[in-house]
Structure 1
C-alpha cells in the first residue's frame, strides 16, 4: 500500500504551481521548460520530477485547482443566498466581489486558464472546459435571478459574456495592491454598471 502524501508534499506542490504559473505568464507555457521552472524555484529538474512527471501535469494540476476554486466560490455564495442572507441581486454582487478577490491573488493562474488550456491532452482539456462551462452557466443563472425583467433567454449569454469581459482580463491591466484602483473598488464599479444598465 502506498504511503499517504505528507502535508509538506502538498505545500511543495503548491509552491511549484505558483512558480510555474509565473513562468508560464512570463515566457508562455509553450516556451517555459521544466528547467526554467526548477531554476525559478531554486531546485533541480530531478527534484521537480519528484512532484510532477511533466510540464503538462503541472499545467493540469494548476488549472484543475483553479477551476475547482471558482466553482467552490459559486457554491459558497449560493449557500449563503439559500440561507436567506442575500437576495438575488446581492448574491450576484457578492459573486462578482468573490471572483475579483480571487483574481487578485491568482492572476497568473487565471492567465493560464485563459491561454493555456489548449495545451492539455484531450481528456484533461475536456474536463477543464466543462468546468469553465459550469462557471458560465452558474453566473448566467445568478444574472437572470438578479435582473429577471431585463435578462431572458434571448440575451442571457451576451449579458454573461459582457460580465466576464469586464472581469476576466483584469490581470492584464489591474495591479494587485497598487495604483489608485483596487480590485474591491473595481468590483464596485462593475456592480454599478450592471445595476444602472440592467436594473428595471
Structure 2
C-alpha cells in the first residue's frame, strides 16, 4: 500500500526548495551535498530523502517550478491587461514590473536558473531550456507589439536581450529594502525603454 502523504507535504517541499536554492547560491551546486541540504533544512538526510531522492531531483523541481511561475506571470499580465483595456505599451511595462516584483523575492532561485541548468540531465535540461525560450519569446512578442515602429525582425532579438540584460542581474546589486526599490528600478527601466524606443528613427 502506498504511503499516505502528510497534509503539509507540499509545504515541506517548498521549504526545502527555498533553502536549497539559498544553499546552492551560497556554496555552488556542485559543492553542495545532500548532507549540506539536510543541515540547511534543519532535518536529517533520511527525512530529506523522504521528499527527494537526490540532489538532482531537488534542482530540477526547483527550476521546473520557478520557470512555470515565470510563465504564469506572463499569462497573468497578458490576461489582466486585456481585461483592463491596457495598450500594448502599457502591457509591456506591466510585464517588466511583474518580473522585477518576482525577482525581488526569488534571488536564490534566479541564481540557480542562471547558473545551474547545465547540471541537469539532458531530458530535464531541455524542459527548463524550452521554457526559458518560451519566456524570451513572450517578451520579444510583447516588445514588438509595444513598439512596432522600432522593433523589426532584425533587431527584435537584440532588443529583447537588452531588456533581460537590464533586469536579469539585479540580484547582484539591487537589495530588497535598499535606497532603490525594485519597483523604483522597474520605473527607471520602463522610462529608458520609453525614451529610447518611442522616438522616431533618426535619419543618418
TM-score range relative to shorter protein: over 0.9
- Which residue number in structure 2 is paired with residue 172 of structure 1? 172
Unaligned runs of at least 5 residues, structure 2: 200-204
Query: SS at the partner of 1:83?
Result: helix
2:134 is equivalent to residue 137 of structure 1: no
Q: 1:125-162: per-residue Cα shift (whole Å, max 9, x none)? A: 00000000000000001100000000010000000000
- Going from structure 1 to structure 2, the CA distance change for 1:87 and 1:5 (only over 3 Å counts) comes to farther
User: What do you get for the CA RMSD once the two structures are aligned?
Assistant: 1.2
Q: 1:7-44: per-residue Cα shift (whole Å, max 9, x none)? A: 40000000000110000000000101111111111111
Q: Which residue of 2 aligns with 1:40?
A: 40
TM-score normalised over the length of structure 1: 0.96
Unaligned runs of 5+ in 1: none
Does 1:191 pair with 2:195?
no
CA distance in 2, matches of 1:172, 1:11: 28
What's the offset of the Cα at 1:86? 1.3
What is the number of equivalent residue pairs in this alignment? 199
TM-score (norm. length: structure 2): 0.94
In the TM superposition, residue 55 of structure 1 has moved relative to its aligned partner by 0.3
Alignment of 1:11-160 (within 5 A): 11-160=11-160
